[in-house]
Amino acid sequence: MARRFSMIFCMLVLPFAWSASAQERQPVDLELLLALDVSHSVTVEEHASQITGLAAAFRNARLISAIRNLPTGRAAVAVMFWAGPENQIMAVPWTLITDDSSAHAFASRVAAETEPPWDGLSFTAIGTALLRGADEIDSNRFEGRRRIIDLSGDDPSNQGVKAAEARDLVVLRGIVINGLPILQDRKEHEDREELVRYFETDVAGGNGAFVLPTLGFNDFPRAMLAKLITEVSGLTPPALTRHQLASTAAD
């Protein structure tokens, strides 16, 4: 009898508890996790380029306008650094952005992270980073109409869960993955195409997912701003053409 009462109690109380928990989450138009590569292949100077470019994007009037033009004008954004299978860290916590003030405050938090958190980590674990990113989205205090992981990196994954397997699991959780391959050290046209193709086939996934390469860390601010405006607006960016990849092979 006691066991039956316990089962009935759980059936009645647990759904209510879950509902109450769900109601506590703040509704937003977009949950966006920005996952930045800080593995050994990224130098301190290159990391600083990523950080300054990302911070500049959230001070840009075009991006702030895109957030304001969302149905409710609310986006939750966070930054995660990643490298090997055991190396992911939330560098900037989930932040609600609705206007100039909140966007600039977030940019200031980003700008303070110019020093990479680890020294000399050589592994690149994209799959593990994607799974950790999905957990961070699922466990935060926001409830987004759209949920996106924006992952940038300059090499294919070489450790941890396979990127394509992780990508499929994350997409099943209702999260879109967009990729920003960094072509800095890939001088040959074929090498650049190969990294872009890897991001397209093994990393990006979900409804409306896309890959937008940056031609190097010096080009990162331009590419990141374009990518963020595209993600916030829900648009599809133009593909980087083969001619553009070839013309930068000698840079």
Looking at residues 141-168, what average pLDDT do you find? 94
C-alpha distance across the termini of the chain, in Å = 77
For position 122, what pLDDT does the model report? Answer: 66
Domain, as residue range, for 177: 29-247
Is residue 186 a part of any domain in this protein? Answer: yes
| Residue 78: strand, helix, or coil | strand
Looking at residues 140-160, what average pLDDT do you find? 93
C-alpha span between 53 and 48 (Å, rounded): 8
Query: pLDDT at residue 186 above 80?
Result: no
Share of the chain above pLDDT 70, in %: 80
For position 211, what pLDDT does the model report? Answer: 93
Helix axes 163-172, 126-139, angle to 10 degrees: 20
| Residue 95: strand, helix, or coil | strand
Query: pLDDT at residue 63 above 50?
Result: yes
pLDDT confidence tier of residue 238, bands split at 50, 70 and 90 = low
Is residue 202 a part of any domain in this protein? Answer: yes
Spatial strand order of the sheet with 26-37 comes to: 88-97, 75-82, 26-37, 142-153, 176-181
Query: pLDDT at residue 235 above 90?
Result: no
Look up tokens 């009462």; give the residue.
5
> Long-range contacts for 87-90 (Cβ within 8 Å, ≥24 apart)?
87/38, 87/118, 87/121, 87/123, 87/125, 88/128, 88/129, 88/132, 88/133, 89/117, 90/136
CATH number at residue 93: 3.40.50.410
Share of the chain above pLDDT 90, in %: 57
Is residue 11 a part of any domain in this protein? Answer: no
Neighbouring-strand partners of residue 165 = none
C-alpha span between 212 and 214 (Å, rounded): 7
Structurally, the chain folds into a number of domains equal to 1
Neighbouring-strand partners of residue 35 = 80, 151
Looking at residues 234-246, what average pLDDT do you find? 55
Question: Would the CA dihedral through 75, 150, 103, 93 be positive or negative?
Answer: positive
C-alpha span between 25 and 235 (Å, rounded): 26
Looking at residues 180-186, what average pLDDT do you find? 75
Is residue 19 a part of any domain in this protein? Answer: no
34-38, 186-190, 231-235, 240-244: segment of lowest average pLDDT: 240-244
Is residue 3 a part of any domain in this protein? Answer: no
pLDDT confidence tier of residue 39, bands split at 50, 70 and 90 = confident
